[in-house]
Structure 1
């Protein structure tokens, strides 16, 4: 019994060229689309492009509106924080310890001196 004979290079080239010829023949024999079909395809394509353009425009408008809303919220938050800081300033100044002036220090020293003199008498 003879074994399986693998196709050689020339056999493979011939098979490929015959397959290519058959494919070209099928392509040539395919019916051509009518003018109505071509017009319908072109209309569908235009409608699709218009719908995509509208969708992109709507998405762009929504994105811009979102950006504007975010910027407005950031501005309002910044204004609120400035207003809160302004409102908290008097309380912070009141809570901050006052540094004694030279006159206050002299008055305290004089009071201590007077108290010491009063104790000695």
Structure 2
């Protein structure tokens, strides 16, 4: 009987396997992936799809807060009418959002 208790005590005193020490770090990486990295990649993909679909006449809001109507679209730049006879050239990827039709008009 003492031999069984001694064997159980010796087994309990051994250190856990080395891979168990990495479980908290792996768990944090998984949590960061699902809570931070994956949603950000999804938002980036949606924004790129929105930017690639820009066309003349769309009402947009830039990341700087300018609201206007697209007058011309290039590969890199977009010309936006922000007021009567006022047109600015904006880098395409700084367009924050597209105002859906029926929203408040930018320069009517």
TM-score, normalised to structure 1, is 0.33
Structure (1/2) with the larger helix percentage = 1
Q: Which has the higher contact order (CA 8 A, sep 6+)?
A: 2
Q: TM-score, normalised by structure 2?
A: 0.36
Which has a greater percent of strand? 2
